[in-house]
Amino acid sequence: MSLNLNSLEAVAEAMTAPGKGILAADESTGTIGKRLAQIGTESTFESRNAYRDLLFSAKGMENNISGVILYDETLRQSSLAEGTPYPEYLAGKGVIPGIKVDTGAHDLARSEGEKITTGLDGLDERLKEYRKLGARFAKWRAVININDDNPSGYCISTNAHGLARYAALCQSNDIVPIVEPEILMEGTHDIDDSFVVTEEVLHTVFFELYSQGVQFEQMVLKPNMVMSGYDASDRAGVEEVANATLQCFFRTVPAAVPGIAFLSGGQSDTDATAHLDKMNQLLGNNKPWNLSFSYGRALQQPALKSWKGKKENVPAAQSAFMKRAKLNSLATQGKYSEDME
């Protein structure tokens, strides 16, 4: 199997094809270092490559994974068995290689406790290089938090503007942009607060995308689900989350967008799968967009725990990763049930 995708529309459609989703393996060196420390493994160039390799080389992963978001270091690394650069290796399996291009969230000037994502400086040149290295899509994450004072309209509008500038540059360089406005789930806010903020953020993002000439058919949206904060006193259940998320998106996301690949945002493995499944059950065949996943921890955590940094544990780790990939694949079709766990 290999990639034969001749347009941005074709890439965007393939990224959220029914039965498949995106593996987010774009943790920065600092973040992956913390994950490896949890299993008593030192973070080195070699250990990071070995961990990513066990995910990418898992037999049959291409049946459930449409694409992989890579970090700059990983994009330049190679498979252990063949020594093939990862973009070429993944494309050879029929998996679309992508790249994280933002440089992180930093304090927003003149705003207490809010963040702005950076990385626009030099982005055009970096995108040209990434495209030559084989990346077909990119990712940029904006973060919005909810508390008594936030988010401000200033924070929402500046982050939306940055997302749109990034997306326009991607499309100009033959790269599909994943647009990721994430409302963080930390906090005591209830699901109604989450709905109001998510609705405002998505309206603002799509206004900016439209204003800057971004083609909706050539992008993928990676949003949060509409959920209670993790510290809320009365947290919404699976069906309420699914209904609220769909209602919010019906109001805000144009049908021209081919697919929505949800972020997991720190949800448990099973919650992330159950929420996605319930939304697809509720929609049935009446889908304005394909509903899929772009999970990091919710796909990787069981594999990481099984691996423990030891070569002899690779088969067990791959099995744990493939179980979550298959269950989330079923959830994109509304065919998951809890007794499959």
With 0-12 / 13-18 / 19 or more C-beta atoms within 10 angstroms meaning exposed / middle / buried, residue 203 is middle
Which CATH number applies to 8-340: 3.20.20.70, 3.90.1150.10, 3.30.565.10, 3.40.50.300?
A: 3.20.20.70
Percent of the chain having pLDDT more than 90? 96
Active site residue 310: no
In a 3-state reduction of DSSP, which class is residue 158?
A: helix
Nearest to 296 by CA among 314, 317, 272, 279: 272
Sign of CA dihedral 210, 212, 213, 217: negative
DSSP character for 338? G
Is 9 within 8 Å of 258 (Cβ atoms)?
yes
* 34-81 pLDDT per residue, tens: 999 999 999 999 999 999 999 999 999 999 999 999 999 999 999 999
Q: What is the pTM of this model?
A: 0.97
Let me know if 208 is a catalytic residue: no
For residue 184, what is the DSSP state? -
77-127 pLDDT per residue, tens: 999 999 999 999 999 999 999 999 999 999 999 999 999 999 999 999 999
Backbone φ, ψ for residue 336 (5° rounding): -85, 150
Structure tokens, 307: 């691996």
Catalytic, out of 180, 182, 208, 278: 180
The single residue of 20, 100, 115, 222 carrying the catalytic annotation is 222
Residues 287, 50: Cα–Cα separation, whole Å: 39
**pLDDT score recorded for residue 285:** 87
Tell me the sheet residues that pair with 262. Answer: 293
Selection from 143, 175, 145, 147 nearest residue 160 by Cα: 143
Write the DSSP assignment of 196-265 as a string of letters. Answer: HHHHHHHHHHHHHHHHTT--GGG-EE--------TT-SS---HHHHHHHHHHHHHHHS-TTS-EEEE--T
